[in-house]
Amino acid sequence: MKRIFSRIRFLPLTIFAATLMLTVKIGDIWDGFDGHINGTIQVSEAIAQPAEEDAKPAAKDGQPAAGEKTAEQAVPAALKDEPQGQISKLITNDPTLLTPAEIDLLQQLAERRQVLESREQEFEIRTGLLAAAESRIDKKVEELKVLRETISGLIKTFDAQQDAKLLSLVKIYENMKPKEAARIFEALEMDTLLEVAERMKERKLAPIMAKMDPEKARDMTVELSRLRQLPPVGQQAGG
């Protein structure tokens, strides 16, 4: 009985002691964690205060803080200088900034440009000369057309006059006696004789040819036959 009683009283004591020890341990852990946090905050504040003091003059003066690099300072010098040199060459066109190859290329381009300009000038001169020649040719063509029309008109006038003269002769020969007309026909040139005979009426021409020299009359007959077989002059020209 005593053993059971002693066990019952000893168990609560053991639980109480263990709980008390656990409470002490938790308090020590919390105190250590709280001190660590407070120390960290104090250190951060101590570091932040000098940084703020250094940043205020820099912001006031408009200059970056010591130890910091601007974007311009961070660019390598080689990368800064090379584009500036190229831009300087493009802006100033300074020949001293060009390489020998670039100078040679520029000289070749200048020579090529001179050649092209010379060819263009020569082409313009030739074009002008050709236009002037074409203008003169057109003018000559117009003059020739006018001259042709003038000559054609003169020929028509001359032919009309000749026809009038021949018709007058034809009437004269038709009204003459055949023997007298035959004597005149024998003295005429064959071309003139044919022109007159072509325009005479057959009944008037036959008595005259009968009185002519037989050989002359035969030659005139052959030529008249040949002329009558030929097409008219207008058809010959058209054919």
Residue 189 lies in a domain: yes
Residue 142 lies in a domain: yes
Question: How far is Cα 42 from Cα 48, in angstroms, rounded to an integer?
Answer: 10
Residue 198 lies in a domain: yes
pTM over 0.85: no
Which of the 8 DSSP states describes residue 57?
H
Residue 209's φ and ψ, nearest 5 degrees, are -65, -30
Question: How far is Cα 173 from Cα 199, in angstroms, rounded to an integer?
Answer: 11
Task: Per residue of the chain (239 residues), give pLDDT as tens.
Answer: 445 444 445 555 556 665 666 555 555 555 554 554 455 445 445 444 544 454 444 444 444 444 444 444 444 444 444 445 444 444 455 667 778 888 888 889 999 999 999 999 999 999 999 999 999 999 999 999 999 999 999 999 999 998 898 899 899 999 999 999 999 999 989 998 998 998 999 899 999 999 999 999 999 999 988 887 766 555 444 44
User: Domain limits at 114?
Assistant: 109-158
Residue 238 lies in a domain: no
Neighbours of 208 (CB within 10 A): 24
State how many domains the chain has. Answer: 2
CA-CA distances (angstroms) from residue 104 to 26, 86, 95, 111?
A: 89, 18, 11, 11
Residue 192 lies in a domain: yes
Question: How far is Cα 80 from Cα 86, in angstroms, rounded to an integer?
Answer: 11
Given 98, 132, 158, the domain boundary residue is 158
